[in-house]
């Protein structure tokens, strides 16, 4: 099992913490983390963009998709809309992606004393331990 650092913007982080968003998604133009890096039972540390780590979650299910087209992306977005809870701007940005990772979250819990992780790049996903 691996640990990952997932950087999340609002309103998506709040939606996860409230239990409304149950699937974390990453739509990618190139195969990069978390594509091929996350497996069932991995731990995700959820970090607020430009802020601290606020919660942890466990990957209950993971699905990867490649060779995406706008039509295939739209089908994915429609099929999993209830769990993804994406706004129109995120849906529009996803249209130029060739790859996607969907991670069903479980055991979401706040962290009162988060670990300190030194991060100085702009990557929105980091594999911490594998």
Phi and psi torsions of 10, nearest 5°: -80, 150
Burial of 87 (0-12, 13-18, 19+ CB in 10 A): exposed
pLDDT in tens, the chain (130 residues): 899 999 999 999 999 999 999 999 999 999 999 999 999 999 999 999 989 999 999 999 999 999 999 999 999 999 999 999 999 999 999 999 999 999 999 999 999 998 888 777 888 999 998 6
Domain ranges (residues) in the chain? 3-109
Question: What sign does the CA torsion over 9, 38, 88, 109 have?
Answer: negative
* Domain 3-109 fold: 2.30.130
Q: Give the residue among 14, 29, 42 at the shortest CA–CA distance from 124.
A: 29
Contact 47, 53 (CB under 8 A): yes
Helix (H) or strand (E) holding 54: strand 53-65
């Amino acid at each position: 099992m691996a640990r990952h650092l997932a950087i999340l913007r609002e309103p998506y982080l709040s939606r996860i913490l409230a239990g409304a968003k149950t699937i974390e998604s990453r739509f990618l133009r190139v195969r990069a983390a978390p594509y091929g890096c996350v497996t069932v039972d991995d731990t995700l540390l959820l970090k607020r963009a430009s802020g601290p780590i606020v919660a942890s979650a466990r990957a209950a299910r993971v699905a990867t998709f490649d060779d995406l087209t706008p039509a295939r992306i739209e089908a994915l977005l429609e099929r999993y809309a209830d769990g993804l809870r994406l706004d129109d701007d995120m849906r529009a940005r996803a249209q130029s992606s060739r790859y996607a990772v969907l991670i069903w979250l479980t055991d979401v819990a706040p962290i009162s004393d988060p670990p300190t992780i030194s991060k100085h790049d702009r990557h929105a996903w980091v594999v911490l331990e594998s």
